[in-house]
Structure 1
């Protein structure tokens, strides 16, 4: 891969977030999007060395659109100035958890875990699993390879939810409604996309025990089906 053209494009989009600007720079957008696709393809190849099921994924189908739904937002900017991709056997679906890549000027990060909050059944499944496997939770989140890299950022209650023991050793983990971790990425780390892919794959590998724990908790979860029209 050549030098990073993704962040320069996203920086200008952030500062010129209009339909007219995007239309005038469509070619640059396509070039930057192609590079982001190549980054995802490279990450899939690296992670697939230990997770062969990932090798079947089509990187293009894992990328979120830049277009924003502004119908109910005070911010009418038409685009999200970020490239986002979720590497998971379920594609862009939030469950099971996978590896999330978010590239934005001054705000890039690698993510893992599950955004369970919209699904009450999923939240209950994870909480109940933590109650039954609390020591394993502590082993994963307290591991020396975990704590220096990741921060828990998921939606969280102020108090332990009703029906759970506030004195439970892992009570703090039960307050979450989404169990999400993030590792920030400096803009400078993206200067060489190939080197970035190598380091990002290493970080993603450190997420595997956390993702596996949550995905085991959610092994019987079924995504709600959209009503047929």
Structure 2
């Protein structure tokens, strides 16, 4: 399957992001959307062998502009998310296809206050395990380092001089790997996407263990 037509369509959409143009080219959109959905389903089916996926969600191309200053009606990307089976498995996978800006990401985008505090408490107690995971060669080769918004100083109740303060002050725990258009168009892209998702697994499995236990290591489910 070649995604060149889909990338070309998205490039044209970015230059003609209005309802009239989209209506005139809707058949082309539906054709490329079908191709993309097939790719997403193939990735989901292949990845289900390696992880327990609760839900695949293919995102709509229509933007919600009600509360946005940007009133363009369409996204210039195709994207999908794969949610792990909760509550025992935490973390989610995301694939974003956009000309010049494609990426695979995942992690903990908006952890609730309870989960965020539990993660921070774990790092305060012992950051050895998470350091080992994010410094492992396959992780660092794919993602570099943990990303995400963070506080400028320590959260309330935490020591700003704690050795793990770089992790404790984070509000999100995310990973990203960017792909060029050439990489997206490569015949082996589906396998590369699977490989990238699998590289997240040790991080996700560790965080699932943390969020599934209390500070004494006792299971909470």
Q: What does residue 202 of structure 2 align with? A: 209
Q: TM-score, normalised by structure 2?
A: 0.86
SS of the residue corresponding to residue 95 of structure 2 reads strand
1:116-140 Cα offsets, whole Å, 9 max, x none, are 25x2222212212322341101001
SS of the residue corresponding to residue 142 of structure 2 reads coil
Report the CA distance between 1:79 and its aligned residue: 1.2
Q: What does residue 188 of structure 2 align with? A: 195
Cα separation, partners in 2 of 1:86 and 1:22, compared to 1, 3 Å: same
Cα separation, partners in 2 of 1:80 and 1:153, compared to 1, 3 Å: farther
Report the CA distance between 1:3 and its aligned residue: 4.7
Report the CA distance between 1:180 and its aligned residue: 0.8
**Residues 108 and 186 in structure 1, CA contact (< 8 A), matched pair in contact too:** yes
Cα separation, partners in 2 of 1:156 and 1:26, compared to 1, 3 Å: same
Report the CA distance between 1:7 and its aligned residue: 1.2
Tell me which of 144, 154, 162 is aligned to 2:148. 154
Q: What does residue 105 of structure 1 align with? A: 99
1:47-75 Cα offsets, whole Å, 9 max, x none, are 22222x33x75x4xx11112222222221
Q: What does residue 81 of structure 1 align with? A: 76
**Residues 112 and 211 in structure 1, CA contact (< 8 A), matched pair in contact too:** no
**Residues 2 and 185 in structure 2, CA contact (< 8 A), matched pair in contact too:** no
Report the CA distance between 1:110 and its aligned residue: 0.5
SS of the residue corresponding to residue 149 of structure 1 reads helix
**Residues 109 and 185 in structure 1, CA contact (< 8 A), matched pair in contact too:** yes
Report the CA distance between 1:90 and its aligned residue: 5.4
**Residues 90 and 205 in structure 2, CA contact (< 8 A), matched pair in contact too:** no
Runs of 4+ in 1 over 6 A off after TM superposition: none
Q: What does residue 132 of structure 1 align with? A: 125
CA distance in 1, matches of 2:8, 2:138: 32
Would you say how many aligned residue pairs link Structure 1 and Structure 2?
A: 210
CA distance in 1, matches of 2:106, 2:19: 32
Q: TM-score, normalised by structure 1?
A: 0.83
Q: Which moved more, 1:99-108 or 1:26-35?
A: 26-35
CA RMSD of aligned residues (A): 2.1
1:96-126 Cα offsets, whole Å, 9 max, x none, are 3121101111111000111125x22222122
Which ranges of structure 2 fall in alignment gaps of 5 or more residues? 214-221
Q: What does residue 110 of structure 2 align with? A: 116
Which ranges of structure 1 fall in alignment gaps of 5 or more residues? 221-229
